[in-house]
């Protein structure tokens, strides 16, 4: 087979395509995957402005309290959906550990699709910032909340409606610049609790 001057052999063109196409596909997946994990919370939620789903979760292994809809009533709160197998959850955990010490509002956890022993070991290792944690072992509560993946963080108003949803890890900047201003606004507009 003779080659025309300036023409690349067919075998070399085939190899180039076999190398270049997978690299381009991986680059696109990495870009969009990074944006979904670490980018702004662009995924909409149909539950904003609606009541928290009805749920009752057992406690995480080794903890005393589970989590239910009733626990979220009557006060502004933050609900964090996390899992021990979630790398971004590990990244945001120190932010929640520091936040829990402020007493600003209760921080509740929904442990999503975690083996009980792994959830317990993760909390024992990193600390437990949650006022209460429910174990969503089968992911049913996550489905009811509209969870796309972990971590996700919700702000719940005193009337039990979901006021805000953040997809991805919460950094200190996101906590300070986005979540806390919403919490403050909800706290000042919430009806005063009546003590009995």
Cis peptide before 151 (omega within 30 of 0): yes
pLDDT by residue for the chain (196 residues), tens only, comes to 555 555 655 555 556 656 666 665 555 555 445 444 444 444 556 789 899 999 999 999 999 899 999 999 999 999 999 999 999 999 999 999 999 999 999 999 999 999 999 999 999 999 999 999 999 999 999 999 999 999 999 999 999 999 999 999 999 999 999 999 999 999 998 655 433 2
In this prediction the pTM is 0.76
Q: In this structure, what are the phi and psi dihedrals at residue 64, rounded to the nearest 5 degrees? A: -90, -30
- Any idea which architecture 56-189 has in CATH? 3-Layer(aba) Sandwich (3.40)
Domain boundaries, the chain: 10-39, 56-189
Torsion of Cα atoms, 90 then 96 then 100 then 105, to 10°: -140
Lookup: tokens for 126: 């990193």
User: DSSP E strands: which ranges in 89-183?
Assistant: 107-112, 132-136, 152-156, 162-167
């Amino acid at each position: 087979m003779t080659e025309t001057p300036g023409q690349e052999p067919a075998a070399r063109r085939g190899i180039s395509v076999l190398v270049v196409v997978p690299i381009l596909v991986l680059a696109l997946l990495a870009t969009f995957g990074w944006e979904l994990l670490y980018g702004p919370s662009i995924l909409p939620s149909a539950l904003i402005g609606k009541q928290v789903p009805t749920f009752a979760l057992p406690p995480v292994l080794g903890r005393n309290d589970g989590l239910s809809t009733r626990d979220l009533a009557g006060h502004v709160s933050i609900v964090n959906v996390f899992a021990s197998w979630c790398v971004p959850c590990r990244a945001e955990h120190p932010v929640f550990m520091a936040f829990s010490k402020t007493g600003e509002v209760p921080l509740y956890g929904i442990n999503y699709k975690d083996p009980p022993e792994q959830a317990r070991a993760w909390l024992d290792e990193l600390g437990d910032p949650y006022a209460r944690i429910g174990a969503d072992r089968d992911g049913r509560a996550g489905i009811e909340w509209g969870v796309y993946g972990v971590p996700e963080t919700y702000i719940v108003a005193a009337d039990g409606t979901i006021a805000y949803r953040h997809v991805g890890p919460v950094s200190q900047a996101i906590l300070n610049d986005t979540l806390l201003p919403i919490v403050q606004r909800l706290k000042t507009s919430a009806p005063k609790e009546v003590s009995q």
